[in-house]
Amino acid sequence: MRVRLKQLLLVVLLAAAAAAAKTQPMSKPNCITKCGNVTIPFPFGLTKLCSLNTSFLITCNHNIPFLKTFHQDVRMLNISLDGQLDVSLPVATSCFNNKTDELKNDFWSYKFYTPFHLPSKQNKLTVLGANTAGVVEAVDSTFEYATCLCVSVYSSMMDEPPHDESCSGRFCCETPIRQRLSEFDIYSLHISINNMNKTFQSYPCGYAFLVKEGAYNFSMANLRNFHSSSTFPAVMDWAVGNTCLDAKNNASSYACKSNHGECDNAKEGPGYHCKCSRGFRGNAYLHDGCVDVDECAEGLHDCLKGRSTCSNSPTGSYSCSCPKGYEGDGKNNGTGCLRKSNSKIIIAFSVSGSILALVGGTLYVYCALKKRKLNKLKEHFFELNGGLLLQQQIGRYGGSSEMTKIFTVEELKEATSNFNEDMVLGEGGQGTVYKGILPDNRIVAIKMSKISNPNQIEHFINEVILLCQINHRNVVKLLGCCLETEVPLLVYEFVPNGTVYDHLYDQSQFLRLTWKRRLQIATQTAGALAYLHSATNAPIVHRDVKTSNILLDHNFTAKVSDFGASRIIPVDRTELTTLVLGTLGYLDPEYFHSSQLTEKSDVYSFGVVLAELLTGKKALSFERPDAHRNLAVHFHSSMNEGQLLNIVDSRIIDEANVEQLMDVANIASHCLRLKGEERPTMREVAIELEGINIVEKHQWEKVNLSSEETENLLKAIPSSSFSIDGVNRRSIPSGSDISNRISLSLTSGR
């Protein structure tokens, strides 16, 4: 029963408050307060006596209020005493007559009286149509100038209309008004472009209008069914007088008449507004327009519910009183209501608790700020190291590329003894490689990339994207990455036996590269490059094939590494124009001169690698005579002159099968041809070498020649033809299944 009585009392109080709000004066006595469903507050009025002056005179025509302007009356939708009006503005139209090839334009001119103008931040110029321009032209006392321009475009040669139907330039554009407007013209124009007749036939009309921000959402259906008679809501500012200071100095013209009102200068343009003081509401332009708000009756107080009593004050405030035997301000956010006998103890506990809470809160804020700073720093490094670019590239190539593991910097510091110099495996142009031991005792190679400018970030991200897509036994495997450090880190499988370059030229290396091992390295490297060119989703060009980028694992299996300079060639293209990158001595001359990167660029570099494996000589050496400095040129001339014997590595000349040696030299010669179109593909090269290597393994054909026969054969000029059939003819027995096995090895990856 008590609950029902309380609910009934609350309903009565709310009804009383609502009734009081309704009786608040908004207009002068005996003045009409509404036109249709729009309330007309003073200083506005329907007659001169009911308005502040003629500028605020409203015309009520068929229950529709209109504001008088210099050119035409504007329909009013709402009047706010905060200094704004909602008005309805028409549409400027331009239509093309396909039969007569005539263009009809209509425009609207506005000139508002002094207290009124369109604000610059709440309205937008919106343009609909195909190849349509909308212009708002502000009018000065001496000239006109365009203050706002927006163009919506569409051509029949473009794609179909957008599905998201966003107002982003196609069929629809919008732009904010840059300055407040009091006198201006708005009109729509068709833009004629070559071959636009078809477009004008489909969309003959264009429209331009001013609209309140957020009041219009574009859709193609709306464009097709658009009516030139449509109107749209816009925001208009109004104010009275000049400034508060000027108005107060002239009491007779001061518009803020209420004793509980305040003056507030307009935020944009001249004039001021009158508003009720805190604790009052109503119309501050009238003597008795601001009435006290009963916070107690309307529930707008913070007195302790059920503990203190709320008492309203006619001065615009209220107070909370505690019951007998208690003291305090009776408010939720104040001291509340405390028993008088225990108040001092409770206050002491409250103060102590507040101090402890302050100290605890300070520590919490400090820790939170420190953690936030650390997270911000990690986010900064993530962006700096190309994290956003990495996300974009993963999305671009299908979103299926996932890193095996995202390492923290603490894990990698522990694995490398805080990146100790003793753990460095090597350094190159793209970064430093450390040896690391993970908690599960796996040995890994950790590459700390050198990124000194934004261009190198792309190389790093490129290497991550490529390695994530590659799954081949002869390509070094990427295990994970770390982007939360100052420089990015990549974690690879550890390949223990160094590079082919080391074993060819570093005498301290224990491994001797026999002819059999060199042939195996060449075959495996060719298979990996053929896989990159033909077995991935899109062809991948390594762009830096060289012996120092071919690693050897514990079984002396070759693994291609360092994809920092690699590029993906789109499936619909055969070449890519890029900045020339690579290593001198291995660089494709055709690519160097044209900047046109193709798969044949890798073929040329691989030809240099084959020449190195055959001769044991560096690709480029300034210690050799000028004519022999470039190995590719020297190798070509030796082959053409029948002097191959003079440049073959003496360490393999006695153990190599002579016919195999000649076959490999012939392959290298074809790879090193100056014109890319005359070079074989990596798949053809890989099949040739695989056939030679299989014959070597199974000893299906043995050639034992005397030293004189060997010399004569090596001096022979190589054939100018290159064909996969050559392998079958020279090396593979008829009826064997080697061809199928070769094809499988090039496409299966692992």
pLDDT band at 12 (very low <50, low <70, confident <90, very high): very low
Query: Residue 660: which residues within 8 A CB-CB, separation 6 or more?
Result: 515, 519, 692, 695, 696
Structure tokens at 549: 């980028």
Checking phi first, is residue 205 left (phi over 0); if not, alpha (psi -120 to 50) or beta? beta
Q: Is residue 506 part of a domain?
A: yes
Q: Which domain holds residue 103?
A: 84-238
Burial of residue 749, with CB atoms counted within 10 A of its CB: 0-12 exposed, 13-18 middle, 19 or more buried: middle
Catalytic residue status for 544: yes
Tell me: do 630 and 571 sit in the same domain: yes
Mean pLDDT of the chain: 80
* Higher-scoring residue by pLDDT: 453, 134: 134
Query: Residue 372: which residues within 8 A CB-CB, separation 6 or more?
Result: none
pLDDT band at 739 (very low <50, low <70, confident <90, very high): very low
Burial of residue 209, with CB atoms counted within 10 A of its CB: 0-12 exposed, 13-18 middle, 19 or more buried: buried
Q: What is the pLDDT of residue 695?
A: 76
Cα–Cα distance between 171 and 156 in angstroms, integer?
12
Angle at 72 between CA 69 and CA 77, to 5 degrees: 75
Q: Which amino acid is at 352?
A: S
CA distances from 428 to 124, 434, 490 (A): 56, 12, 14
Q: Collapsing DSSP states into helix, strand and coil, what is residue 445?
A: strand
Tell me: do 555 and 663 sit in the same domain: yes
Say if residues 717 and 682 touch (Cβ distance below 8 Å): no
The residue length of the chain stands at: 750
Strand partners, 710: none
Q: Is residue 16 part of a domain?
A: no
Active-site pick, 294, 329, 544, 588: 544
Q: How far is CA 125 from the centre of its chain?
A: 28
Angle at 663 between CA 648 and CA 472, to 5 degrees: 100
Say if residues 60 and 68 touch (Cβ distance below 8 Å): no
Q: Is residue 139 part of a domain?
A: yes
Cα–Cα distance between 63 and 71 in angstroms, integer?
22
Cα–Cα distance between 621 and 629 in angstroms, integer?
5
DSSP states of 615-644: H---SB-TTS-GGGSBHHHHHHHHHHTT-H
Say if residues 133 and 153 touch (Cβ distance below 8 Å): no
Helix ranges (H only) for 181-338 are: 197-202, 220-224, 244-249, 295-298
Look-up: residue for tokens 């015309």?
59
pLDDT digit string, tens, across residues 459-469: 667 667 767 76
Cα–Cα distance between 161 and 153 in angstroms, integer?
11
Tell me: do 417 and 530 sit in the same domain: no
Q: Is residue 49 part of a domain?
A: no
Look-up: residue for tokens 């980028």?
549
596-597/576-577 β-pairing:
antiparallel
Q: Is residue 158 part of a domain?
A: yes
Asked which of 467, 493, 519 is the last residue of a domain, the reply is 493
Q: What is the pLDDT of residue 589?
A: 92
Strand partners, 128: 172, 207
Cα–Cα distance between 555 and 572 in angstroms, integer?
39
Tell me: do 415 and 505 sit in the same domain: no
Query: What backbone phi and psi angles, to 5 degrees, belong to 614?
Result: -75, -40
Tell me: do 487 and 511 sit in the same domain: no
Q: What is the CATH number of the domain that holds 711?
A: 1.10.510.10
Tell me: do 444 and 551 sit in the same domain: no
Tell me: do 584 and 729 sit in the same domain: yes
pLDDT digit string, tens, across residues 79-123: 999 999 999 999 999 888 777 667 787 778 888 877 888 887 889
pLDDT band at 280 (very low <50, low <70, confident <90, very high): very high
pLDDT of residue 515 exceeding 50? yes
Asked which of 446, 463, 493 is the last residue of a domain, the reply is 493
Tell me: do 486 and 393 sit in the same domain: yes
Tell me: do 615 and 721 sit in the same domain: yes
Q: What is the pLDDT of residue 42?
A: 94
Asked which of 238, 271, 298 is the last residue of a domain, the reply is 238
Residue 84, number of CB atoms within 10 A of its CB: 16
Cα–Cα distance between 516 and 521 in angstroms, integer?
9
| CA atoms within 13 A of residue 347's CA, in its CB half-sphere | 13
Q: Is residue 14 part of a domain?
A: no
Cα–Cα distance between 71 and 108 in angstroms, integer?
9
Beta strand ranges found along 202-322 (DSSP E): 205-212, 231-238, 261-265, 272-276, 280-282, 290-292, 309-313, 317-321
Cα–Cα distance between 292 and 13 in angstroms, integer?
15
Say if residues 632 and 672 touch (Cβ distance below 8 Å): yes
Taking alpha carbons only, the member of 61, 63, 65 closest to residue 40 is: 65
* Higher-scoring residue by pLDDT: 602, 223: 602
Tell me: do 528 and 438 sit in the same domain: no
pLDDT of residue 29 exceeding 60? yes
Q: What is the CATH number of the domain that holds 457?
A: 3.30.200.20
Cα–Cα distance between 117 and 269 in angstroms, integer?
9
pLDDT digit string, tens, across residues 694-723: 877 654 344 444 444 444 444 443 443 455
* Higher-scoring residue by pLDDT: 145, 532: 532
Buried b (16+ CB within 10 A) or exposed e, 22-42: eebbbbbeebeeebeebebbb
When mean pLDDT is compared across 144-158, 282-296, 538-552, 673-687, the lowest value belongs to 144-158
Say if residues 511 and 556 touch (Cβ distance below 8 Å): yes
Q: What is the pLDDT of residue 390?
A: 67
Q: Is residue 288 part of a domain?
A: no
Tell me: do 588 and 655 sit in the same domain: yes
CA distances from 536 to 149, 358, 470, 600, 734 (A): 49, 61, 7, 17, 31
Tell me: do 543 and 620 sit in the same domain: yes
pLDDT of residue 745 exceeding 60? no
Q: Structurally, how many domains does the chain consist of?
A: 3
Q: Is residue 183 part of a domain?
A: yes
Query: Residue 479: which residues within 8 A CB-CB, separation 6 or more?
Result: 404, 405, 444, 491, 492, 493
